[in-house]
């Protein structure tokens, strides 16, 4: 079968797919103009990869496509309605990356509060020439209030670390109440406004959807404590980035830890990169050797199952499965 593989997929998994199928791998190309990509797209029955924008425009050029297998849990790059309209299966890789992303989010919490990258730079620059003064003190993490927006798989894993490891009080806001999290971590369900006003750390970990796009802007930053630390591990577009810059510049909040940006890779002249109270990462939530491999493997399983007429374990649009089973491909 003809497969279009798009950055990022781990080599052993790509090699295994190549051994069974006719696979072309694409990286760093303009997907609207690259002739090889467009030619392969016109023949492909399956797509596997990360972050390829799959919308009606692309699908119009992919008449043979039957499945799109995302190597990520977030699937805001996929137009699910457009895929479903064409009876194309869509899958993602939930669960296996949860702990890895939660570790990274906690890394942002700790490194921002304790100013670890900033002080690492201070030591390496040879500036540590006398006993440290108050201006370099950080903020405690333990026993503080952590507000989690989006109490799903990753939100729960962050809460687990915060509750059991750091004796933090957990506040959360989600679309629905999560009684399991309330029982396991003594978490308190709040309105968004209440969470923003009370939390010492505000951690955003929702999917990017119509509802969550620009969910946190200047009004929300102004509701936070002046000592609040804001963490974004979700997607760059869940916040208004220029409002975050304004909130940090005007002292509405103390600091921020960011794994995601409005534009990725982030533009070198982005003002956030010049702020010592902002810890920045290049979207590495799931990027450990172990987890990236598991994600590619799971995405390959989803792809194979779908192509072979079996229900993929991580099917997003089950409506397509129902339609296929009524009418056949």
Ligand X SMILES: O=C(O)[C@H](O)CO
Contact 258, 241 (CB under 8 A): no
Nearer to ligand X, 73 or 171 (CB): 73
Of the candidates 129, 138, 162, 135, the one whose C-alpha atom is nearest the C-alpha of residue 148 is: 162
Establish whether 115 is a catalytic residue: no
Choose between 174 and 286: whose C-beta lies nearer to ligand X: 286
Helix or strand run (H / E) with residue 101: helix 98-113
- Please provide the size of the chain in residues: 329
Measured distance CA(123)–CA(280) in Å, rounded: 19
All residues at 6 or more sequence positions from 269 whose CB lies less than 8 Å from its CB, including other chains:
none
Q: Which stretch binds ligand NAD (CB under 6 A): 91-99, 126-134, 182-190, 263-271?
A: 91-99
Considering only residues 199 to 238 of the shown chain, the ones binding ligand NAD according to CB under 6 A are: 205-209, 211-212, 233-235
Q: Is 69 in the site for ligand NAD (CB under 6 A)?
A: no
Distance of CA 170 to the CA centre of its chain: 21
Q: Contact positions toward ligand X, by CB under 6 A?
A: 72-74, 97, 283, 285-286
Q: Provide the minimum distance between the beta carbon of 265 and ligand X in the complex, in angstroms, as a whole number.
A: 13
Q: Which does 206 bind (CB under 5 to 8 A by kind): ligand X, ligand NAD, none?
A: ligand NAD
Active-site residue 264, yes or no? yes
Compute the Cα dihedral for 7, 10, 12, 16 and give only its sign. negative
Please indicate whether residue 21 is annotated as part of the active site.
no
Whichever of 73 and 158 has its CB closer to ligand X, that residue is 73
Name the residue whose CB lies closest to ligand NAD. Answer: 152
DSSP per-residue codes, 257-317: EES--SSSSPPTT-GGGG-TTEEE-SS-TT-SHHHHHHHHHHHHHHHHHHHTTS--TTBS-
Number of residues that bind ligand NAD (CB under 6 A): 31
**C-beta separation of 234 from 208 below 8 A:** yes
151 contact choice in ligand NAD, ligand X, none (CB below 5 to 8 Å, kind-dependent): ligand NAD
- The catalytic residue positions are 235, 264, 283
Residues engaged in binding ligand NAD (CB under 6 A): 73-74, 94, 97-98, 101, 149-155, 173-175, 205-209, 211-212, 233-235, 259-260, 283, 285-286
């Amino acid at each position: 079968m003809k497969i279009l593989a798009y950055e990022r997929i781990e080599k052993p998994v790509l090699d295994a797919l190549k051994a069974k199928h006719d696979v072309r791998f694409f990286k760093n190309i303009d997907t609207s103009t690259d002739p090889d990509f467009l030619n392969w797209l016109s023949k492909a029955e399956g797509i596997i990869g990360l972050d390829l924008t799959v919308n009606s425009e692309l699908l119009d050029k992919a008449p043979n496509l039957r499945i799109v297998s995302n190597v990520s849990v977030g699937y805001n790059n996929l137009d699910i309605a457009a895929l479903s309209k064409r009876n194309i299966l869509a899958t993602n890789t939930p669960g296996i990356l949860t702990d890895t992303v939660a570790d990274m989010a906690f890394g942002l919490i700790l490194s921002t509060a304790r100013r670890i990258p900033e002080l690492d730079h201070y030591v390496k620059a040879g500036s540590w020439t006398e006993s440290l003064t108050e201006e370099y003190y950080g903020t405690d993490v333990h026993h503080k209030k952590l507000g989690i927006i989006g109490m799903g798989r990753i939100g729960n894993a962050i809460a687990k670390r915060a509750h059991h490891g750091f004796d933090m009080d957990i506040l959360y806001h989600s679309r629905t109440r999560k009684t399991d999290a309330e029982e396991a971590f003594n978490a308190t369900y709040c309105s968004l406004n209440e969470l923003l006003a009370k939390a010492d750390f505000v951690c955003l970990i929702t999917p990017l959807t119509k509802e969550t796009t620009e969910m946190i802007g200047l009004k929300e930053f102004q509701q936070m404590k002046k000592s609040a630390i804001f963490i974004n591990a979700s997607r760059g577009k869940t916040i208004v980035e220029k409002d975050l810059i304004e909130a940090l510049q005007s002292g509405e909040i103390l600091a921020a830890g960011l794994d995601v940006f409005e534009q990725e890779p982030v533009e070198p002249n982005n003002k956030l990169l010049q702020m010592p109270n902002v810890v920045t990462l290049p979207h590495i939530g799931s990027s450990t050797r172990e987890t990236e491999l598991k994600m590619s493997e799971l995405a390959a399983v989803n792809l194979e199952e779908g192509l072979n007429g079996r229900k993929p374990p991580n099917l997003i649009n089950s409506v397509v499965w129902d339609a296929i089973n009524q009418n056949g491909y």
